[in-house]
Structure 1
Amino acid sequence: MQPQPTGRLVRKDDGVYIVIDRIFKAHIEEVWSYFSRSPRLAEWLGEYKGTGSTGAVKFRMNAEGDAADWQDVAVRECTAPHRLHVVVDPSGQAMVMYVHLTEASGHTTVTFGYRLHKVADGADLAVGWDYYFDRLIAAHDHKPMPEWGDYHPAMVDHYATLCHELDRDLRSEQLAQRNGTTG
């Protein structure tokens, strides 16, 4: 069965985010460990070194192959086991991300957000994050990792349409503001 795109674009005060949700039949502390413990994080995304409580760690994606570089990460908020906000490469083209976890009736919902620099360029990133979070599901459930080829290019058109429509709306709103008109 082909994976389906699950992400959405959400406007926030500081920009537009790709937002993806996943639900686990597990307690929140178990799911949190896949974000807070380097060996667990390495099962689906990458590894880190350093101590998050200091606010700074180094991170390297392992799903991108052996040539991935270590990147500086600034931990902006870490409220275990509920909230993690980070900025990857805070000195360069920063990647702002958050993870929020909630638990109810033995199920944990993970909500992930990734801030886009340019909405028009978000399609490939959205496909990638869908893929990574399906890798998280596979790691948690001890199943085989999904294949990138099942996601890309199959999901690109879906996300490109979302990005194009939101980008068009944002441009229209900016034009209306410059012209002094509203909706």
Structure 2
Amino acid sequence: MMTAKPTGHYVLKADGLYLQFDRLFHAPIEDVWFSLTNPNAMKGWIGTYTGSPSTGGVRFQMSEEGAEWMNVSILECRAPHSFTADSGSGPTGVRVFCHLVEGGGMTTLTLGQRMKDASEAASIGPGWDFYLDRLAASRSGAELPVWESYYPGFSPHYRELTVPSTAKG
């Protein structure tokens, strides 16, 4: 059993501030892509979806008890390398991206969520650490981590993260 630790960090992108996470898998890129995009494989770690992603939209439901179905717009998809998606719209909308890179028998997953402001990180950061550790556990057959190992214990780490400067050096 692994000991959970907070792994997120901030990255400034052209469209805003993102809280970003990296995970490394001993697997081919197509295999990791399947875990991120196949509705049955997703059930093991985050939730599932209905609909056809090729239409540009699906309905997604997280696996937590009582989670509502939500509309997700797929803004960009380059299988098996990356996708960008928005769930919800307006002030409650969320943008998430996943990028995959394969090399030396390993695949690196980089996942990021755009932040409305840095105060959100105290709740969003522990959630993504939790789900990404669930992804790793579900892929390896390990015991799934429990939420209480992540929240509220990781919140101080995310409250204390420094937002990168926008100044050009």
Q: TM-score, normalised by structure 1?
A: 0.86
> Offset of 1:121 from its aligned partner?
2.1
**Structure 1: how far apart are the matches of 2:123 and 2:92?**
17
**Structure 2 residue aligned with 1:110:** 109
Moved over 2 A (4+): none
Q: Which structure: greater helix fraction?
A: 1
> Is the radius of gyration larger for structure 1 or structure 2?
1
Q: Give yes or no for the alignment of 1:166 onto 2:163.
A: yes
Higher relative contact order (CA 8 A, sep 6+): 2
State, as a whole percentage, how many aligned pairs show the same letter. 37
Q: What is the 5 A alignment of 1:49-128?
A: 49-62=50-63, 64-65=64-65, 67-90=66-89, 93-128=92-127
**Structure 1 residue aligned with 2:146:** 147
> Offset of 1:89 from its aligned partner?
1.2
Cα pair 1:73 1:90 within 8 Å, conserved? no
**Structure 2 residue aligned with 1:18:** 19
> Offset of 1:79 from its aligned partner?
0.7
Amino acid at match of 2:131: Y
> Offset of 1:92 from its aligned partner?
5.6
Q: Which blocks of at least 5 consecutive residues in structure 1 are unaligned? A: 174-181
Q: TM-score, normalised by structure 2?
A: 0.93
Amino acid at match of 1:27: P
Q: Give yes or no for the alignment of 1:37 onto 2:38.
A: yes
> Offset of 1:17 from its aligned partner?
0.6
Cα deviation, 1:142-178, whole Å, max 9, x if unaligned, reads: 111001111112211111101xx429x67xx7xxxxx
Pairwise CA RMSD: 1.8
